[in-house]
């Protein structure tokens, strides 16, 4: 009997790129090493992460969300590690479902490890994700690069972020390695680090070093963390003013628009693109799963 083919697609959201593996019944065993090899830009397909598309009812981590969300985004970082949430990933995931005839324009709920997320698929291609509320524990975080240190804002968007405001994005250096963040104990599971500059009123630019993926050209949860931190810095916390606040966030791979509402709910809007689809050689993949 021949080994079943494994379909994949390749997509991105503001150039945060993903290998998409549809597996409705959760039949595949995607080990960390298999994910890392699929995401390898030389030996594999290449991506900042992998979106394993599974029916919630078929996945032990999502079964309890199955009534609210038919589909579970089993997100993995490029190194094979697991993360709670991926903002760009949810948009690409929803776009894949629509393209595959599994969702329609309008509202959809996607299960993630960070909870069920409402997604709006607009006819013009924009996709808006209700990202939930940010948590901002105050704990004296410092980020260091190239002999300089900056105070950072600890923002949790389901996953952990350290947001640093700098005068120039050149201060972020080459970001080939994770910038040291202290105290390390604040982030026992690692952290995504955002460097931010002002570009105008409620308009910022950022670069990001992602936990488990390195520097990427965009990070949706990172853009939300940055907008929330900027609103606190700018004295426009919606919980205090009673008014929603919207930030335009420029990333190397594109622009995201983030709105925080007075009840703390954060919405993020941006594009999603599918660029290719194909078949993974099952014999090659089986050599990676040990």
Ligand X SMILES: N[C@@H](CCC[C@H](N)C(=O)O)C(=O)O
Active-site annotation holds for 224: no
Least distance from C-beta 89 to ligand X, angstroms? Answer: 6
Q: Does 192 bind ligand X (CB under 6 A)?
A: yes
- Count other Cβ atoms within 10 Å, centred on residue 68: 13
Per the residue annotation, which of 21, 83, 86, 228 is the catalytic one? 86
Least distance from C-beta 187 to ligand X, angstroms? Answer: 10
CB 113 within 8 A of CB 82: yes
Q: Which CB atom, from 120 or from 284, has the smaller least distance to ligand X?
A: 120
What lies within 8 Å, CB to CB, of 126 at 6+ separation is 269, 270, 271
Least distance from C-beta 32 to ligand X, angstroms? Answer: 13
Query: DSSP readout, 37-93?
Result: HHH-TTTSS--SEEEEEEEGGG-TTTGGGTTT-SEEEEEEETTS-B-S--HHHHHHH
Q: Does 47 bind ligand X (CB under 6 A)?
A: no
Spell out, one character per residue from 82 to 101, where the chain touches ligand X: x when CB under 6 A holds, - when not: -x--xxxx------------
> Long-range CB contacts (< 8 A, 24+ apart) of 28-31?
28/52, 29/289, 30/74, 30/76, 31/80, 31/288, 31/289, 31/290
| Number of residues in contact with ligand X under rule CB under 6 A | 18
Stretch that binds ligand X, among 79-87, 176-184, 199-207, 236-244 (CB under 6 A): 79-87
- DSSP code, position 170: G
User: Distance of CA 72 to CAs 10, 54, 62, Å?
Assistant: 18, 5, 6
Q: Which of 56, 77, 109, 154 binds ligand X (CB under 6 A)?
A: 77
Q: Does 112 bind ligand X (CB under 6 A)?
A: no
* 18: helix, strand or coil: strand
Least distance from C-beta 279 to ligand X, angstroms? Answer: 26
Active-site annotation holds for 219: yes
Q: Which of 220, 254, 270, 271 binds ligand X (CB under 6 A)?
A: 220
Q: Which of 221, 228, 230, 245 binds ligand X (CB under 6 A)?
A: 221
Spell out, one character per residue from 140 to 179, where the chain touches ligand X: x when CB under 6 A holds, - when not: -------------------x--------------------
By C-alpha distance, which of 122, 125, 104, 172 is closest to 14?
Answer: 125
Count how many Cα atoms sit within 13 Å of the Cα of residue 180 in the half-sphere of its side chain: 8
Q: Does 128 bind ligand X (CB under 6 A)?
A: no
- Burial (CB < 10 A; 0-12, 13-18, 19+), residue 289, is middle
Least distance from C-beta 14 to ligand X, angstroms? Answer: 8
Cis peptide before 183 (omega within 30 of 0): yes
Q: Which CB atom, from 185 or from 283, has the smaller least distance to ligand X?
A: 185
Q: Which of 26, 112, 156, 213 binds ligand X (CB under 6 A)?
A: 213
Q: Does 212 bind ligand X (CB under 6 A)?
A: yes
CB 60 within 8 A of CB 91: no
Q: Which residues bind ligand X (CB under 6 A)?
A: 16, 49, 77, 83, 86-89, 159, 192, 210-213, 216, 219-221
Tell me the catalytic residues: 86, 219
């Amino acid at each position: 009997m021949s080994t079943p083919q494994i379909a994949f697609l390749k997509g991105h959201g503001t150039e945060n790129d993903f290998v998409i593996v549809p597996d409705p019944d959760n039949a595949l065993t995607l080990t960390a090493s298999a994910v890392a090899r699929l995401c390898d830009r030389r030996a594999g397909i290449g991506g900042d992460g992998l979106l394993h598309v599974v029916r919630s009812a078929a996945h032990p981590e999502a079964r309890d969300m199955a009534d609210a969300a038919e589909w579970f985004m089993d997100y993995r970082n490029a190194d094979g590690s697991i993360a709670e949430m991926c903002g760009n990933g949810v948009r690409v995931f929803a776009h894949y479902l629509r393209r595959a005839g599994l969702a329609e324009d309008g509202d959809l709920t996607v299960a993630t490890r960070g909870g069920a997320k409402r997604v709006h698929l607009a006819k013009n291609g924009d996709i808006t994700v209700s990202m939930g509320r940010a948590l901002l524990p105050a704990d004296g975080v410092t980020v260091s690069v190239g002999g300089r240190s900056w105070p950072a804002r600890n923002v949790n968007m389901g996953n952990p972020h350290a947001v640093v405001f700098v005068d120039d994005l050149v201060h972020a250096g080459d970001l080939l390695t994770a910038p040291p963040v202290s105290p390390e104990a604040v982030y026992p599971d690692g952290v995504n680090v955002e460097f931010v500059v002002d570009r105008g009123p409620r308009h910022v630019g950022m670069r990001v070093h992602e936990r488990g993926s390195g520097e990427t050209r965009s990070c949706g949860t990172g853009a939300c963390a940055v907008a929330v931190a900027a609103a606190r810095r700018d004295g426009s916390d919606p919980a205090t003013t009673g008014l929603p606040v919207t930030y335009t966030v420029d990333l190397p791979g594109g622009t995201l628009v983030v709105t925080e509402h007075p009840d703390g709910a954060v919405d993020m809007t941006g594009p999603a693109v599918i660029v290719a689809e194909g078949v993974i050689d099952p014999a090659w993949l089986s050599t990676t799963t040990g």
